[in-house]
Amino acid sequence: MPYELKLSGPQQVELVPYEDDPVQPDQVRARAVLSGISHGTELNLYRGSSPFGDKQFDRELRLFLPQAEVPAPIALGYEWVGRVTETGSRVTHLQPGDLVHLMLPHRETHTVEAFHVPYMGRLEALPSLVTSEQAIFIALAGVALQAVHDARIKVGDRVAVFGLGVIGLFVVQLARLNGAAWIDAMDPIAGRRELALGFGADRVLDPAACDVGYEIKSASSHRGADVAIEVSGHYPALHEAIRCVRQAGRVVAAGFYQGGGTALHLGEEWHHNRVTMVSSMAVWQNPHRDYPLWDRARIDRVVVDLLASRLLRVDGLITQRFPFTQVAGAYELIDRHPGDVVKVVLTYD
């Protein structure tokens, strides 16, 4: 019997058995190869710091409202890669053995409608040039590409990137592909700063060791970055992103922020420099700002092409692998020792 991961309470994960129903004519079933743990969204749910812990999101009103009842155990994960094992009678574009990526939770199998997958539309086999280790990053690379689109980077722009986890390291690469002339990259973890240099950052700064806003503005003839992209999800980093941009500059907030923003002092640079702040969210039924020319399916197709061509690199990003049966240890490692990890993935027999 296969197993799936459930979060029953803060820092309480368990593997729960389930049964697969017969595959229907329009369905396809795949068995897991790898799944990636999100160090932002998932860890906030795991820690109980996410607004979903005591609130529910009303999709019609687009409001967080008080939770009506005690939430049931929830599934975690949205970075799942597997191989097709069975197809329905009306599915002809997929074959057993095809590698597929799904934005669905950690579990040993997934059975989905082949012509209408959540967030993705029609399920397609990944190109043969894309490995499972690359495919595990499709969702996060899509978040990074969405943030770069929201940043409206122009050829010659000076860009600052705050937070050098997986998404930030993709942002560094994509900002360069999009025409950035200079990229400053910030993170307190030395190993991540080294990765950023390898991925094309011109300079890396430790926010714990210097005044980042001053360093960026004093080194720029037009007094600041044209665009700052914040992906760490920490309010102090968001405040520094605001401080570092030029007058009327743009800040893209792509992190998953928790709690109150006491580190934000909006009466300072944000107010006096007329800074534009943009929320970047690629899912939850949010349209791309250039929809219908761009949508989530197109974002994913571009990411897959960039991975296949090696224009978007993932070398060095996977730092730990855990068997699915030891998933509790994986979450505990990320929670307690975030500086020791870049990307943790789960492996399946």
More reliable by pLDDT, 41 or 18: 18
Q: How far apart are CA 82 and CA 102, in angstroms?
A: 8
Contact 3, 108 (CB under 8 A): yes
Q: Does residue 157 lie in a domain region?
A: yes
What average pLDDT does the segment 134-158 reach?
Answer: 97
Which pLDDT tens digit goes with each residue over 226-238? 999 999 999 999 9
What's the pLDDT score for residue 51? 83
Q: Are residues 112 and 94 in the same domain?
A: yes
Q: Does residue 162 lie in a domain region?
A: yes
Residue where a domain terminates, one of 279, 302, 336: 279
Q: Are residues 131 and 147 in the same domain?
A: no
Upstream peptide bond of 292 is cis (omega within 30 degrees of 0): yes
Q: Are residues 257 and 173 in the same domain?
A: yes
Over its C-alpha atoms, the chain yields an Rg (Å, rounded) of 21
Q: Does residue 291 lie in a domain region?
A: no
* CA distance from start to end of the chain: 13
Q: What angle do CA 45, 326, 79 make, to 5 degrees?
A: 50
Contact 112, 7 (CB under 8 A): no
Q: Are residues 34 and 122 in the same domain?
A: yes
The domain that contains 335 carries what CATH number? 3.90.180.10
Given pLDDT bands bounded at 50, 70 and 90, which one contains residue 260?
A: confident
Does the pLDDT value for residue 175 go beyond 80? yes
Given pLDDT bands bounded at 50, 70 and 90, which one contains residue 121?
A: confident
Return the percentage of the chain with pLDDT > 90, whole number: 81
The domain that contains 275 carries what CATH number? 3.40.50.720
Q: Does residue 309 lie in a domain region?
A: no
What's the pLDDT score for residue 97? 97
Q: Domain tally for the chain? A: 2
Say if residue 336 is exposed, middle or buried (CB neighbours under 10 Å; 0-12, 13-18, 19+): exposed
What's the pLDDT score for residue 70? 64
Mean confidence (pLDDT) of the chain: 94
Does the pLDDT value for residue 211 go beyond 80? yes
Return the percentage of the chain with pLDDT > 70, whole number: 99
Which pLDDT tens digit goes with each residue over 301-346? 999 999 999 999 999 999 999 999 999 999 999 999 999 999 999 9
What average pLDDT does the segment 133-144 reach?
Answer: 97
Question: pTM here?
Answer: 0.94
What's the pLDDT score for residue 50? 83
What's the pLDDT score for residue 283? 81
Residue where a domain terminates, one of 264, 279, 294: 279
Contact 151, 159 (CB under 8 A): yes
How does DSSP classify residue 281?
A: -
Q: Are residues 252 and 321 in the same domain?
A: no
Which range has the worst mean pLDDT, 16-20, 28-32, 39-43, 205-209?
A: 39-43
Does the pLDDT value for residue 182 go beyond 90? yes
Q: Does residue 293 lie in a domain region?
A: no
Domain carrying residue 231 = 143-279
Other CB atoms within 10 Å distance of the CB of residue 51: 15
Residue where a domain terminates, one of 279, 299, 324: 279
Q: Does residue 211 lie in a domain region?
A: yes
What's the pLDDT score for residue 73? 86
Which pLDDT tens digit goes with each residue over 30-71? 999 999 999 888 998 999 888 887 788 888 899 988 887 766
